[in-house]
Structure 1
């Protein structure tokens, strides 16, 4: 079997945070990439392909629990394995 056959299918919605219900650990065993409007982004924390958005940190700002503040960017989202 090749490595491409061992990879799970790319989900419609995925989150980096393990506490999220949209976190799928099997996907993170492989290197993934996300494009927003044909530009590859390296700071994506969460994405949804069907709704067309990604969440990225808003600079160095933090919430009261110490997590980065997120902003939602909208556009055409593509997720892929590298």
Structure 2
């Protein structure tokens, strides 16, 4: 059942407008662990710098996008 999945990049974003968005990765389900706990609200991550970006409540920026909050810790990305 081992499919040819692309390698998970060091930095990845859910937003298709971001330069860190890799569409091929999102054809498979990706999971993120921060400090050993799985997070389901991650919008962007960077493994080498050790942070994830998550929405900060319901607040929106002037373009109508959710405001992001950077949470630091040990980041692990994996395919489910």
TM-score range, shorter chain: over 0.9
Counterpart pick for 1:63 among 49, 52, 61: 61
Root mean square deviation of aligned Cα: 0.9
How many residues are treated as equivalent by the alignment? 80
Structure that is richer in helix per residue:
1
- 1:76 maps to 2:69: no
- Provide, for residues 18-61 of structure 1, a one-character-per-residue CA deviation record: whole Å limited to 9, x for no partner: 00000000000000000000000000000000000000000100
- Normalising by structure 1, what TM-score? 0.95
The two structures have a TM-score, normalised by structure 2, of 0.97
TM-aligned CA deviation for residue 2 of structure 1: 3.1
